Structure 1
Amino acid sequence: MALKGKIDDFGLVEIFQLISQQQRSGVLTIQSSGKKADVIFANGMISKVSPFYLSPKRDPFGDTGVKARLVTEEELQRALEIHNENLKNLEEVFLDINLLNINQIQKINNYLLVETLYDVLQWKSGDYEFNLKEIEHDKRLSTIIATEHILLDILRMIDEEPELYQKIPHFGIVFQKNPLDEKTLAGIDELTFNEKIIYRLVDGIKTTQDIIYQSVLGRYNTLKALHSLLEGHFIKKIATKKEPYLKPPIKKNCWQYVFYGIFPILIVLLMLWLRLLLSPSLSDDIASYKKVFAKTQFQKIKNALNVYFLKTGNYPVSLEDLVYAGLIKKDDLTYPGGVKYGYHLQADGGYRLEDAPL
């Protein structure tokens, strides 16, 4: 039995927070527009992520190792053969045959976790499914992370990245080191750990995308370091390779957000004004308001069912159980007009919630 739903109805941030608050273990599968990712939770904390969409025909971990130049294609194929023979975890295979050490394995897993959540938390539509199950977390191979902390970090990255894209609008840009003068030579020692990693990778040949892969720091940290190195005159742009590197997502400036936020409101107000002007009575409008209210109430019940499931591991026998659990009020169980919502607990443990017409 699983907790299922639409991203459109119940946001992913809320789902992550619910799983964290209830300290649940299991696998959250998220799908959107042909993309799929598994987020593994252990006692409400995130232990690992598998982004199947990054390399649909290859193992995400192995593919990242090759792109980071930590292993060769031949070494990956050798590890996959062993993995397919004994069904051992691919990370453990790399460790057993001394192709990667624990630090490198943790670095790849952390890279996949951050990059995947950065993408997934921006998906606006799709489906999610959380399956409760016991999770065996191997502390050697991946670091368990508090869900609230990683969510705050990722949301901050999403908020700050548009500024970085102004300087680095294309992942095909090639950078070259500037000759060191007295000022920049003294500044080398003041660079952060990430900046030093990126500075070493800048060679006049690698693209921004190459540096992202080979640093294993992720898009945000790589772009931030490149931005800082540009500002400090340690490096300069020398070329742009357009293919096959894709331009980062276009971000709207603040005035565009204001416009797109206000414009729909103005349209709604205009429609309401015209409706009131042309309607001989308010009966149609009252009916419309009732429908909107009922839809909001219906979603409130669905959200309460999700919380109940995560708390108990089961859906309630009746909607009244949600009231007893303090998740909703008794008045929330009926439509405007006193008609009760239809609820049926199914044989497979799922439920059917009926939204009857007003």
Structure 2
Amino acid sequence: MAIRGNLSEASLADVLQLLALGQKTGCLSIARDGSFGAIHFADGRIVHASIVNRRDRLGDRLVRLGAVAADELARLSAQLGPQGDRDLAKALLDDARVDRDLLVQVYRTQVEEAVYHLFGWPQGTFTFESDGELAADAPLFSISADSLLLEGARRVDEWSLIEKKIPSFDLIFEVDTARLSAREVPLSPEQERILPLLDGTHDVHDVLERSGLSEFDAGTAIYGLLAAGYAQRAGRSAARLQPPPESRVAEHRNLGVAFYRTGMLDEATREFRRVLELRDSDGISRFHIGLVHARRSEWADAVATFERGAQEPDAPSAVFHNLAFCLEQLGRHADATRALDEAVHRAGGMPDPRLALSRATSLLAADDLAGAEAQLAEARTLWGSRQPSAAWFHAAGLAAAVGGDAARAAALLEEGLAVYPHAVPLHNNLAAVQERRGSYELAARTLEHALLEDANCAHLHKNLGDYLYRAQRYDEAFDAFTRVVRLAPLHGPDVHLKLGNTHYRRGALDEAHAAWEQALALDPDNRIVKANLSALPRQHVAETNAVERPDAPSPDGELHDDDPIEIFVVDTHDGSAALSARDARRVTRA
């Protein structure tokens, strides 16, 4: 479950302490005025931190230290493609290009500097998203958040003083040679390093770039020289030229991708639209705007956006893949099939298991069980030695259950949960399969465990309520059904029917009547509800006849049509397909 807030209400120090005490694993994202930072946690300890579009990357530092040659770094970066400092560090270690101790020291220093920089953001928004994969991926190092708090607070206090003398990085300073030669106090190593750069021509931006110092260390050094009278302000650099269009496009695009990945969709949309204002043909930004529409279930807008992107001659497979998904949501199945065919065609010689999975879910929706099973088998083959996605296990388990093989369905869902223990839909359908096999207590425990993962899933409360109702634990069932109505008032007539039944048992006839009326509004032809309503005034009718009709449909062990089936939206920032299992769909069964 995400944690969101504003830095004006909860400081970054408070947030770090909360995540550390809770031993959280995931990514804390901070956004402020077009700037974006991220701090990654594994079991409550910091393992990575970065700031989008900030100067002084890991590779730059290693080149300045002579740890790696600039041409070697360029070749490695070209092989890796778009990557962050963490990926570069691991690649350098795997290639044995840099001494491990030196690389870890430089990388750790950079992470600490990023966290200290974020301490200086008193305004902005933050979001924490859990991510269990971070704990499984062994970090190069980890840092206790507490160890950074005091230093971070000290730097914030000192920077407030530094800013009074260096309010802008376009200021130019020059050394007072006479006073400097008469000094009695030695200069710090940082001051000695930047002294030759204070020549009346370089502004602070240039000093930072040429000295290789962090903003804080360089600012502290200049502040000390100014305070001692060894340097003075010489003016301001000429208005800096606007960055070339490609630079501006990349900056907005990178921010948009960072916002999108952390669920900050409004901010992501704003940045991607700025890119399109600069360059209307930017397919990556238009693609992500389509993804935002899809996440918000704005299917018509998503289709229009993806169709616009599909007009580009070099539109990648991912565009057509998502277009197919959104067309299905609008009931345009024939168009969806054509879009999926084009996605397969565009994938060319690189078959994608996710495309086979999409075909499988479409065939499953069309009651073509044999075709769905064949596509699921093909998808698993294409994954090779890698584990299939949670969506694959979900679809495979559903196909097995629909085919009447409950044992295989349970085995597939249990296998999926071993890989994706936090996938709530897998828990939900496993519980349904367990009920079908007569393991009612086990199903109830599975549902209760799933509710620890997502207490706001109406399906889980509904299924648990059904179990409790059949076990004649009516008060507990009433609580579960009440939560369903609170979360999803239109979830289904069965919920309101059983709420009415429970009210009737309690003698609350007005409440029973209201609940049954709501059930009838959702299902006007429901004969059981009609019978209960017609029997309500007749006090001589036995409660069991009026409420517990023997011919009432029993959901025992069934996979209902409204059970959530995890489906994917193709999520990419470089034109290649990657899954984002965030959406759900309903699958019709015979």
Q: Give the TM-score normalised by the residue count of structure 2.
A: 0.35
2:174 aligned residue: 176
* Alignment partner of 1:20 is 2:20: yes
Corresponding position of 1:78: 75
Cα distance change, pair 111–29 in 1 and its aligned pair in 2 (3 A): same
What is the DSSP-based 3-state SS (H/G/I as helix, E as strand, rest coil) of the residue aligned with 2:38? strand
Answering whether residue 127 of structure 2 is matched by residue 128 of structure 1, we say yes
Residue-by-residue CA offset, 1:104-155 (whole Å, 9 max, x unaligned) = 774465245424552465253434023142042214xxxx432123233223
Change (3 A) 1:121 1:80: same
One-letter amino acid of the structure 1 residue matched with residue 25 of structure 2: S
CA distance 1:33–1:71, shift in 2 (3 Å): farther
Shift of residue 76 of structure 1? 4.7
Q: What one-letter code is carried by the residue in structure 1 that aligns with 2:232?
A: K
Q: Is the 8 A contact 2:39 2:48 kept in 1?
A: yes
Superposed displacement of residue 17, structure 1? 0.8
Instruction: Indicate the SS of the match to 1:129.
Output: strand
Change (3 A) 1:175 1:124: closer
Q: Is the 8 A contact 1:173 1:207 kept in 2?
A: yes
Residue 190 of structure 2: SS of its match in structure 1?
helix
| Distance in 1 between residues matched to 2:66 and 2:241, nearest whole Å | 18
Give the aligned residue type for 2:189.
F
Amino acid corresponding to residue 16 of structure 1 in structure 2: L
Verify the 8 A CA contact 1:64 1:108 in the aligned structure 2.
no
* CA positional deviation for 1:7: 2.6
What is the aligned counterpart of 2:160 among 156, 162, 172?
Answer: 162
Relative to 1, partners in 2 of residues 1:11 and 1:3: Cα closer, same or farther, differing over 3 Å? Answer: farther
Q: Against the structure 1 CA distance between its residues 182 and 167, is the aligned structure 2 distance closer, same or farther, given a 3 Å change threshold? A: closer
Match of 2:231 among 229, 235, 259: 235
Return the letter of the residue paired with 1:177.
V
Shift in alpha-carbon separation, 1:164–1:63, aligned structure 2, 3 A: same
- Partner residue of 1:110? 109
For residue 206 of structure 1, give the secondary structure of its aligned residue in structure 2. Answer: strand
Is residue 165–residue 223 contact of structure 2 (8 Å, CA) maintained in 1? yes
Give the CA deviation at 1:227. Answer: 1.2
Q: Which structure has greater helix proportion? A: 2
Q: Aligned match of 2:193 in 186, 190, 197? A: 197
The alpha-carbon distance between structure 1 residues 85 and 43, as it changes in their structure 2 partners (threshold 3 A), is: closer
State the percentage of identical aligned residues. Answer: 19
Mapping 1:139-288, distance limit 5 Å: 139=141, 144-179=142-177, 184=182, 186-187=184-185, 190-199=186-195, 201-244=197-240
Query: Is contact 1:68-1:215 (8 Å) kept?
Result: no
Residue in 2 that maps onto 1:356: none
Give the C-alpha shift of residue 226 in structure 1: 0.7
> Paired residue for 2:377?
none
State how far apart, in whole Å, the 2-side matches of 1:85 and 1:48 are. 17
CA displacement at 1:207 relative to structure 2: 2.0
Render the CA deviation track for 1:202-235: whole Å, top value 9, x for unaligned: 4444321222234444222221111112233433
Letter in 2 for 1:81: A
Structure-2 change in CA distance of 1:161 and 1:182 (3 Å): closer
Write the distance in 2 (CA, Å) between the matches of 1:192 and 1:317: 57
Match of 1:6 in 2: 5
Matched residue, 1:42: 42
2:28–2:40 contact (8 Å) kept in structure 1: yes
Structure 1 residue matching 2:195: 3-state secondary structure:
helix
Counterpart in the other structure of 2:555: none
- CA 1:25/1:238 → structure 2, altered by over 3 Å: closer, same or farther? same
Structure 1 residue 21: Cα displacement: 1.5
Matched AA of 2:240: P
- Matching residue's letter, 1:231: A
Residues 257-283 of structure 1: CA distance to partner in whole angstroms, max 9, x if unpaired?
xxxxxxxxxxxxxxxxxxxxxxxxxxx
Q: Residues 166-196 of structure 1: CA distance to partner in whole angstroms, max 9, x if unpaired?
A: 2222212233334367964653xx3333333
CA gap of 1:185–1:155, structure 2 versus 1, over 3 A, is: closer
Map 1:317-328; keep pairs closer than 5 Å.
none
Distance 1:205 1:167 in 2: 18
Aligned residues: 252
The 2-side partners of 1:170 and 1:69 are apart by 31
**Cα contact 2:27–2:131 (8 A) shared by 1:** yes
Inter-partner Cα distance in structure 1 for 2:239 and 2:452 = 49
Shift of 1:49: 0.7
Q: Which residue pairs with 2:30 in the alignment? A: 30
Q: Which has the larger radius of gyration?
A: 2
Aligned partner of 2:145: which letter? T
Q: For the Cα contact (< 8 Å) 1:4–1:129, is it kept in 2?
A: yes
The two structures, once aligned, show a CA RMSD in angstroms of 4.6
Cα distance in 2 for residues equivalent to 1:131 and 1:204: 49
* 1:12-63 CA-partner distances (Å, limit 9, x unpaired): 43321111113333322334455432212233222221222437xxx95446
SS of structure 2 residue aligned to 1:89:
helix
Question: In 2, are the aligned partners of 1:172 and 1:245 still within 8 Å (CA)?
Answer: no
CA–CA distance in structure 2, aligned partners of residues 30 and 42 of structure 1: 18
Deviation at 1:237, TM superposition (A): 3.1
CA contact (8 A) 1:30 1:128 kept: yes
Structure-2 change in CA distance of 1:172 and 1:10 (3 Å) = closer
Which structure 2 residue ranges, 5 or more long, are not aligned? 243-450, 458-481, 489-563, 567-581, 583-590
Q: Which amino acid aligns with 1:114?
A: E
* TM-score normalised over the length of structure 1: 0.54
- CA distance in 2 between counterparts of 1:52 and 1:179 reads 39
Q: 1:99 to 1:241 in 2, by over 3 A?
A: farther
Structure 1 residues 137 and 237: CA distance shift in structure 2, 3 A: same
Q: In 1, Cα distance between the equivalents of 2:156 and 2:115? A: 13
Quick one: which amino acid aligns to residue 81 of structure 2? N
Assess if the C-alpha contact under 8 Å between 1:36 and 1:52 holds in 2: yes
Equivalent residue letter for 2:39:
V
Show the counterpart of 1:303.
none
